[in-house]
Amino acid sequence: MISSGVVVVGFIPLLDCAPLVAAVEKGFANDEGIDLTLVRETSWANIRDRVVVGHFDAAHMLGPMTLASTLGIGHLQVPMVAPLSLGLGGNAITVSLPLWQQMERAGAAGGADPLVQGNALRHVVADRQLSRRPPLTFAMVYPFSCHNYELRYWLSAVGIDPDRDVRLVVLPPPLLVDALREGQIDGFCVGEPWSSLAVSVGVGSIVTPTTAIWHLSPEKVLGCRREWAGRFPERTAALVRAIHRAAEWCEQPSHHEELAHLLSEPKYVGAPAHILLRGLSGSLTLAPGSEARHIENFYVPSRHAATFPWVSHALWFYSQMVRWGQAEFSDRDVEAVRATYRPDLYRAALAPLDVNLPHDDFRAEASPDGFFDGRPFDPARLREYAASP
């Protein structure tokens, strides 16, 4: 194989960096002639800036981050592309034990669906408002993140205004468990292993995986500057192929144990392997001391076309940016958003592998595969969807 050269990719220590780690450790990158170097980062802002200035050729990015950069929201405008998705799901909403006890008294139950849990939370929120206590505080990891939008979607669908009835703050994942223990926050929405860690140290209870809010919901992508992908088309394609094949390897249950050990190394995620294994296998312990429960499709690295960069996913993120006041709807922005997710690059890269690929770039989200409240998302009716409260 002719070498395509060194590719430097930044990542945040979270479970879903798994395909990147497997691409290096299991030789998929080498097979594609890439000398893949992974660099662990401490903040999403660093990831963004180091991609922008060219320290990183590509990075493990929050899907909505690539759109924010392309649109120039909150930062310098630098067109990004996402030629590959880094899997589906993997997130959960977790609350402190005191809040969980209050929610249980209001009807919540371990493993119940998001509607039941949300209604219970609404009662707790209303009680606090009646007794004039300060609003509950929920943390997420970045303003342009699936976590932010999933949390807001769930809250508002059950009648809680995420901007008025609760406080939403950003906290980096490594600080979440301590903040929950010390009562600085009452809950959070984050990727694994942080919810399982909170449960294992006895400070939190998992309310719901976010895949129960949006079945097969998207998460991270491989993001890079459009300019870089244009300058190095073969390198981009080789990278997409390597990570796609690595994701297939990660999907196999027989590999989960080995993968959990790889990820547990300090240079990667640095969390205990048995905790990482919970998210990988979808066998989650929802509350301290309770039995593990199998969550179907909790984290999907490869099945269900999980690596395909659906343009409809990008459009849903954009609809939420508009819904929550981060962006104003414009047709020009819609075009820029559509041009960021790149199924064409994905298809071209995977053509030599002879795998089944989705024919469409868009996917309507409707029950039973869509959102828990049954509200359909039709990318063809984006403006109406973004405008509805």
Tell me which residues touch other proteins (CB under 8 A): 42-46, 49-50, 52-55, 72, 74-77, 141-143, 169-172, 174-175, 184, 326
CA distance 353 to 310: 19
Of the pair 215, 225, the CB lying nearest other proteins is at: 225
Of the pair 114, 173, the CB lying nearest other proteins is at: 173
What is the nearest approach in angstroms of other proteins to the Cβ of residue 170?
4
Of the pair 175, 355, the CB lying nearest other proteins is at: 175
Task: Give the number of other CB atoms < 10 A from CB of residue 169.
Answer: 12
Of the pair 47, 286, the CB lying nearest other proteins is at: 47
Of the pair 53, 366, the CB lying nearest other proteins is at: 53
What is the nearest approach in angstroms of other proteins to the Cβ of residue 55?
7
CA distance 190 to 176: 9
- Which residues in the chain belong to E strands, given as ranges? 5-11, 34-40, 58-62, 80-85, 88-89, 91-96, 136-140, 166-170, 187-191, 204-209, 220-225, 283-285, 292-294, 299-300
What is the nearest approach in angstroms of other proteins to the Cβ of residue 171?
6
What is the nearest approach in angstroms of other proteins to the Cβ of residue 47?
10
Q: What order do you get walking across the sheet with 58-62 strand by strand?
A: 34-40, 5-11, 58-62, 220-225, 80-85
Grouping H, G, I as helix, E, B as strand and the rest as coil, residue 227 is: helix
Task: Give the number of other CB atoms < 10 A from CB of residue 277.
Answer: 19
What is the nearest approach in angstroms of other proteins to the Cβ of residue 61?
13
CB 349 within 8 A of CB 368: no
Of the pair 10, 370, the CB lying nearest other proteins is at: 10
List of long-range contacts for 23-27, beta carbons under 8 Å, 24+ apart? 23/242, 23/243, 23/245, 23/246, 25/262, 26/246, 26/249
Angle at 203 between CA 197 and CA 208, to 5 degrees: 70
Of the pair 43, 129, the CB lying nearest other proteins is at: 43
What is the nearest approach in angstroms of other proteins to the Cβ of residue 290?
30
Of the pair 109, 175, the CB lying nearest other proteins is at: 175
> Got the DSSP string for 103-151?
HHHTT--TT--HHHHHHHHHHHHHHHHHTTPPPEEEEES-SSSHHHHHH
Half-sphere exposure (CA, 13 Å, Cβ side) for 256?
17
What is the nearest approach in angstroms of other proteins to the Cβ of residue 46?
5
What is the nearest approach in angstroms of other proteins to the Cβ of residue 167?
10
